[in-house]
Structure 1
Amino acid sequence: MEEKRKYKLYQLLIIVASIIGVWGFINPILIGWIFKDKEGYGTYKEFGPVGDWIGGTSTPIITLASFIILLAAFLAQKEELQATRDEMNLTRKEFKEQNKTLARQRFENTFFHMVSLHHSIVNSIERTETESHSVSYTESQYTSKIIRGRAYISNIARPLVSSKWSDVSQLWSLKQQYNNIYQENQSELGHYFRNLYHIIKLIDESAELENDSDCELEERKKYIRIIRAQLSTDELLLLLYNSLTDEGSKFHTLIIKYKLLNNLSVKLVPKALRDVFVSMKQE
C-alpha cells in the first residue's frame, strides 16, 4: 500500500510540474496576445515594462516546476533504490537458504552413507564354530557352522544376559565377562563400535544442523532416532557394556546425551547392571 502511494505521488508531481512548466512558457505569449491590440500597446517594442513583469512572474513558475520535477526525480530514485535494496535482500536470503539446503544435503549424504556402512559391517561380521557329534562311543564327528551378522552379535551377547548376574555385587565380574568377550572378538567389535561412534559424533558436531534455543537437540535427535532404529536389542546391550569400558568412555557421554539406549528395556538388563543403566537416564 505504501509503495502504491509513493507511485501515485510521483505521477502527480510529474503532471503538476508539466502543467506549471507549460503555463510558465505560454504565459508571456498569452499575455502578449491579450494586450497586443489594446490602447498604448501597438507594437511589441512597447511591451518592455510588461516583459519585466512577465519575467518576474514566469521565472518563479518555471522554478517551481523545476523544483517539483527535482522532487519527483528524488522520490523516483528513492523508490528505485529501495526496490533494489529489497531485491538484494531477497537474493541474499535465497542464497543463504540455498547454501543451507546444499549443506544439509552434504550432511545427509555422509550420514546415510555411514548408516549403509554400518549395515555392511554388521553383515560382514562372522565366526566359524565347530560342533562335535558323537558317532559312536569312541568316535566323534565335527561339523563347522558359520555365524554371521546379527546372529553373531546375539551369540556373543547371550552370556551377558544370563540370570546368574542377579546381584549388584557381581557387577565387577559381569564387566570382566564382557572384557573377555571383547578381547576374543576385538577385530570385529572394534570396527563396529568405531563406525557407530563416528556416526553419532557426526550428528553431534555437524554445523549443518541447527540448534533451537527452546529445544536445543531436536534437530539432531531426528537423525539419532534414525540410527537408533537400526540397532537390535543385542546391539544396544553390547553398546551399554562397551560404554562402561575405557575404550568406550567417549561414547558413554554421547549415549547419555542422546539417550541412545532408550529402546533397551530395563528388564533385559541383568540386575547387577540395572542401577548403572538407570543412572544413565535411559528410562
Structure 2
Amino acid sequence: MKDEERNPNKSKESKLSDISVIILTILGVLFIITSIAMPFIIRNYYKSRIVNYKTLANIGAVGDFIGGTTVAFLTASSVVLLLATIIMQRKEIKISQQSIEELVKQTASSVKQAEEARKETQITNETMKKQQLETTFFNMLSLHHQIVNSIKITDLRNTYTGRGAIARLKAIYEDNFAKKLYFLENPEGGLNGWVNHSYTRKEYLEKLFENDDTINQEILDEVYKDFHDDYGNSIGHYMRNNYRIVKFIVNNVANDKEEQEKIKETTGREPIIDDKRYYFGMLRSQWSNAEFELILVNSLYTENHKFKELILKHDVLDMEETNNIQASPEVFKLKESMDKFKAYRKLIEISK
C-alpha cells in the first residue's frame, strides 16, 4: 500500500507544500526579473520628460529612485525564495522523520521477527533434545530387557533364565537371610537343624519379612555380601544397568528451570524440562515384583549408598508417603501400602 493510501492527510499536506514552493519560486524569479528590468523601464519613461537628458548621470534623482525600487524587488525576491527554501526544508525534515519512523518500525519488526525466530529455534532445539533423550532412554530399556533375558542360574536340579532366574535369586537371598537369623538364634542347632526341620524356612521368613524393623544394616550387609559373592556375576551387570538408567534420568530431566540450572552447573549437561516421574514410571513398569524388591535390597547395601541416595531423593520406587502432613520434608516416610518392605523400614525412613 502506498503512503498516500495509508495516510491521505499527509498526502494532501505534501501537495500543498509542493504547490506553495512552486508559487513562491515563480514569484521570486518574477521579482528578480522585475528588479533587472526596472532601471530600463524608468529610463525610457523619463528620457522624454527631462530637459538636457543625455546620460543617466543627468538624472541623478531618478537614479536614486531606480536604485531604491530595484533593491525593494530584490529584497522581496530574497524573502519569497527564503520562504520557499524553508518550506522545502520543512518538507525534507518531515520526509526524514517519516523515514526514521519507518526505519524504527522496520527495526522493531525485525527485532520481533528475530525474537520469534529465536523462540522457534529454542522450541525446535528442545524438541530435538527430548527426542534424542527419549531415543537413548528407550534404547537403555531395550538393553535392560536383553540383560534380563541373558540372566541364567543353575542349582542342583534346575536351570532358571530371565525373570525366572531373578525370582529364584530373590528366593535364595531371603533363604540366606532366614538361615542367618536361625543360626544367630540357634547356634547349637547348626546346619542339620536348619535342613531337618521343614517348617524352619517358612517360620523365619515370616518372622523376618512380615514384621516391622526386623532387619538392621549390619546383618543386611553381611547377608547381601555373601549373596553377591555367590551370584554377582549373574546379577551384578543387571543392577549396574538399572543404576545407570536412574542416573541418566536424574542428569538429563529437570522438573523446572531452577533445577535445570542446578543440573547444568553440576554436570555441565543441558537437561530438558519434563516430568521425571514419567521416566521413573516407565522404568518401574519394566520390572517384575522380584526385580523391584531385589533392586531395593541392592540399594540398601552399604556399598551401594549412591544408588540409595538417588532412590530416596527422587523417590524412584514411588514408595514415599506424600500425604502425611506430619512427616518432615527432610525424612523419607514409607507408604503404608508398601508393607512388604516394612522389615526394612528403619533402613528406608532416614534423613534424606
User: Under a length normalisation based on structure 1, what TM-score does the superposition of the two structures give?
Assistant: 0.75
What is the alpha-carbon distance in structure 2 between the residues aligned to residue 280 and residue 147 of structure 1? 39
Residue of structure 1 aligned with 2:206, choices 163, 166, 185: 163
- The reply on whether 1:67 has 2:93 as its aligned counterpart is yes
- Show the 5 A alignment for 1:1-283: 13=10, 16-29=13-26, 31=27, 45=37, 48=74, 50-131=76-157, 145-159=158-172, 160=174, 162-165=205-208, 168=213, 171=216, 172-206=218-252, 209=254, 211-213=256-258, 219-262=275-318, 265-269=337-341, 271=343, 273-279=344-350
SS in 1 for 2:206: coil
Provide, for residues 54-108 of structure 1, a one-character-per-residue CA deviation record: whole Å limited to 9, x for no partner.
2132122112111111111111111111111222222222222222222222211
> How far off its partner does 1:15 sit?
5.3
SS in 2 for 1:127: strand
**Is the contact between residue 148 and residue 162 of structure 2 (CA under 8 Å) also seen in structure 1?**
yes
Report the counterpart of residue 140 of structure 1 in structure 2.
none
Provide, for residues 24-80 of structure 1, a one-character-per-residue CA deviation record: whole Å limited to 9, x for no partner.
123343x589x99xxxx9898456554334213212211211111111111111111
Structure 1, gaps ≥5 residues long: 1-6, 132-144
Please tell me the residue identity of whatever aligns with 2:256. N
User: Under a length normalisation based on structure 2, what TM-score does the superposition of the two structures give?
Assistant: 0.61
What is the alpha-carbon distance in structure 1 between the residues aligned to residue 120 and residue 220 of structure 2? 57
Of the structure 1 ranges 187-196 and 232-241, higher mean CA displacement relative to structure 2 is found in: 232-241
**Is the contact between residue 122 and residue 149 of structure 1 (CA under 8 Å) also seen in structure 2?**
yes
> How far off its partner does 1:153 sit?
1.0
**Is the contact between residue 221 and residue 302 of structure 2 (CA under 8 Å) also seen in structure 1?**
no
What is the alpha-carbon distance in structure 1 between the residues aligned to residue 342 and residue 106 of structure 2? 74
Of the structure 1 ranges 86-95 and 109-118, higher mean CA displacement relative to structure 2 is found in: 86-95
Of the structure 1 ranges 208-217 and 179-188, higher mean CA displacement relative to structure 2 is found in: 208-217
SS in 1 for 2:317: coil
- Cα distance change, pair 63–104 in 1 and its aligned pair in 2 (3 A): same
The CA RMSD over aligned residues, in Å, is 3.5
What is the alpha-carbon distance in structure 1 between the residues aligned to residue 350 and residue 156 of structure 2? 40
Please tell me the residue identity of whatever aligns with 1:16. E
Identity of aligned residues (%): 25
> How far off its partner does 1:199 sit?
0.7
Of the structure 1 ranges 69-78 and 56-65, higher mean CA displacement relative to structure 2 is found in: 56-65
Instruction: Report the number of matched residues.
Output: 253
Please tell me the residue identity of whatever aligns with 1:54. V
Larger radius of gyration: 2
Please tell me the residue identity of whatever aligns with 1:190. G
